[in-house]
Structure 1
Amino acid sequence: MTDPHLPAVIDERRQLINLAYRLLGSLSEAEDVVQETYVRWYALSERQQREVAAPGAWLTTVAGRICLDLLGSARARRERYVGEWIPEPVPDRSDWLGGPAAGDPADRVTLDESISMAFLVVLDSMTPAERVAFVLHDVFRYSFAEVADIVGRTPAACRQLASSARRRIDTSRSPSGAVRTEVVRDFKRAWETKDIEALIGLLDPTVIATADGGGLALSFLDPIHGGEQVAQAWMEISTHGPAVTLLERTVNGQPGLVALIDGAIVSVYAFDIAADRITRIWVIRNPEKLRPWTAG
């Protein structure tokens, strides 16, 4: 018998990927969550499926609860991770080199401010309940009554969780897209020309650079603090590392860079910028996190 809910259920896939990616910061885990959500849907009997008044809400509730469970165990998994953990970067669809892999979940992630690397990093500092409550309510506009059903707390408690999370998000100093593009372009030019003074001028004195190699690619394990220290590190990379080609690309909806060696992407660079200075640099080198960029 054909599932009468099939069109509605399939149509929810993009929404579920978007939700799970923002909650977990991992495309591969988001895809796993969505697959498990559909497994649970089709484990229902036909009668049980017919009793579901709103399949989309049912799927979102299940996916949200799975994400909540995964977030609860994330700390133990991060303790086994080699070096710093950074969310998986997502390319703009038009920026794929060679085109996306068939069925790649990145093809279904909507790019907006709520997946900027800075935003995802702040989300990662929240408790699992804060993160779920905030993303569901503030990003996806679910009511606190609906959030409560997913988180397993009262609507009032979910309102407090979202409020606590909201205080950590600061977009007051966020510059325009044009300013971001120009700063990243100037950073690229200074790096390519080995102009350390220009680099220092583009970096906030309190800038932090963090790299994620996951033990699978060479990278600095500890974050680098300070404009002069970060500039010096980039000069070392430029002088003593292999020759790279730098390209401007959209990374999580923001101007960023990718580095290629012999035509293959080996690093993705995301930036946070306040006024006209770079305050954070995230370097993703773990090849498992570069899958959407290297598939083709």
Structure 2
Amino acid sequence: MTRPASQFGALSRRSGERSHTSNHTEGADATMTVPPEPGDDPTDPSLSAVMSERRQLINLAYRLLGSLADAEDVVQETYARWYAMSRRQREAVESPGAWLTTVAGRVCLDLLGSARARRERYVGEWIPEPLPDRTELLGGRAGGTVTDLTDPADRVTLDESVNMAFLVVLESMTPAERVAFVLHDVFRYSFAEVAEIVGRTPAACRQLASSARRRIRAAQVPATPAARRADVVRDFKRAWEAKDIDALIGLLDPKVTMVSDGGGVVSALLRPIEGGEQIARYAMAIADLAPGMTILERTVNGQPGLVAQRDGVTEAVMAFEVAGDRVTRIWAVRNPEKLRPWTTA
């Protein structure tokens, strides 16, 4: 499903979705003011084709916003705008998929513009919402099957473009940079199509994506094989459970950084802490304060991670960046609002 565009990979668009947005976005901004015609029935014959775009839209919105809840809201708003048009207007749209993507992209761009103000009021550090692996999502529901999964997390494709390190770098970009880069480098939209969404020229969008790539390159660490990353995270878990502080320090890069997100709802670090010894001692303190804690190896945003549970309740999800044989960054999400997909039935 992917084809490489950078170290983080790229999620290609499904075949049949390559129509240019410029031919059919006339109503993308105006639809909220267009009332349905009398007797207009939103359940038209194209309903199945339109609703089949939902997974693609969730994938796009999550990468742009780093939040499942916000991504779901964006998709709901996008479909609301679609059905605010009359049936005749909808039938005139050449490519509903491209129209929906254009609207979703613009809604995300608006949200990103206001997100920075919201983050300034956020208590402590803000970390993107972690995603479980689909198989773990299945296992977390009693009697769960493929057909009865409705959580939006199940509709997000886990690839390199959703690993925590990638999402954190995206957070450092301007809204326009983020949208241009994700649409072009991850979803393979042309710069002409991106321009329709961002509201700038194709040349300006090319510059935005180029600036975003420089940020990505500046944050990259040497690639570590997936199996080795999993081994390092497993060793971290075992040393933590054994309360072996020397082993923990040996697994942590001297310049390692740990960030925690409690959102003001639960206790968490208000600022990042740095240094292998400091983080190891912090981990030991947590183990002493939570003697009944269970640490589980789990896939977090497509990468090896850990989940901390007490009495069957997920209290933290940890994502790791590994370079060589050592952990260089840890992100610990404790905000319960961001742990919804990890809650068992």
TM range (shorter): over 0.9
Q: Which residue of 2 aligns with 1:56?
A: 97
Contact 1:206 1:227 in 2 (8 A): yes
CA–CA distance in 1 between the matches of 2:88 and 2:134? 40
CA–CA distance in 2 between the matches of 1:106 and 1:42? 25
CA–CA distance in 1 between the matches of 2:268 and 2:330? 13
Asked whether 1:95 is paired with 2:142, we answer: no
How far has the Cα of 1:239 moved from its partner? Answer: 2.0
Q: TM-score, normalised by structure 2?
A: 0.84
Partner residue of 1:239 out of 288, 294, 300: 288
Partner residue of 1:19 out of 60, 85, 106: 60
Q: Which residue of 1 aligns with 2:241?
A: 192
How far has the Cα of 1:283 moved from its partner? Answer: 0.5
Asked whether 1:208 is paired with 2:249, we answer: no
> SS at the partner of 1:30?
helix
Asked whether 1:126 is paired with 2:185, we answer: no
Asked whether 1:75 is paired with 2:116, we answer: yes
> SS at the partner of 1:169?
helix
In the alignment, residue 296 of structure 2 is paired with which amino acid?
L
CA–CA distance in 2 between the matches of 1:40 and 1:281? 40
Partner residue of 2:303 out of 238, 243, 254: 254
Contact 1:5 1:55 in 2 (8 A): no
Partner residue of 2:277 out of 228, 234, 243: 228
Among all aligned residue pairs of Structure 1 and Structure 2, give the percentage whose two residues are the same amino acid: 72
CA–CA distance in 2 between the matches of 1:290 and 1:37? 25
Q: Which runs of 5+ in 1 are unaligned?
A: none
Q: Which has the larger radius of gyration?
A: 2
> SS at the partner of 2:70?
helix
Contact 2:221 2:323 in 1 (8 A): no
CA–CA distance in 2 between the matches of 1:78 and 1:35? 23
Asked whether 1:142 is paired with 2:189, we answer: yes
> SS at the partner of 1:249?
strand
Q: How many residue pairs end up in the alignment?
A: 296
Matches within 5 A, 1:19-58: 19-58=60-99
Q: Which residue of 2 aligns with 1:153?
A: 200
CA–CA distance in 2 between the matches of 1:32 and 1:102? 18
CA–CA distance in 2 between the matches of 1:8 and 1:175? 41
CA–CA distance in 1 between the matches of 2:135 and 2:129? 18
Contact 1:242 1:261 in 2 (8 A): no
Q: Which residue of 2 aligns with 1:166?
A: 213
CA–CA distance in 1 between the matches of 2:124 and 2:291? 22
The 10-residue stretch of structure 1 (230-239 or 158-167) with the greater mean CA deviation from structure 2: 230-239
Q: Which residue of 1 aligns with 2:37?
A: none
User: Compared with structure 1, are the counterparts of its residues 6 and 112 closer, same or farther at alpha carbon in structure 2 (3 Å cutoff)?
Assistant: same
CA–CA distance in 2 between the matches of 1:185 and 1:242? 20
CA–CA distance in 1 between the matches of 2:167 and 2:222? 17
Task: Write out per-residue CA displacement over residues 124-162 of structure 1, whole angstroms, 9 at most, x where no aligned residue.
Answer: 000000000000000000000000000000000000000
Partner residue of 1:279 out of 298, 303, 328: 328
Q: Which residue of 1 aligns with 2:154?
A: 107
The 10-residue stretch of structure 1 (166-175 or 255-264) with the greater mean CA deviation from structure 2: 166-175
CA–CA distance in 2 between the matches of 1:276 and 1:34? 40
CA–CA distance in 1 between the matches of 2:291 and 2:164? 26
CA–CA distance in 1 between the matches of 2:221 and 2:305? 21
The 10-residue stretch of structure 1 (234-243 or 52-61) with the greater mean CA deviation from structure 2: 234-243
CA–CA distance in 1 between the matches of 2:93 and 2:225? 44
Contact 1:205 1:226 in 2 (8 A): yes
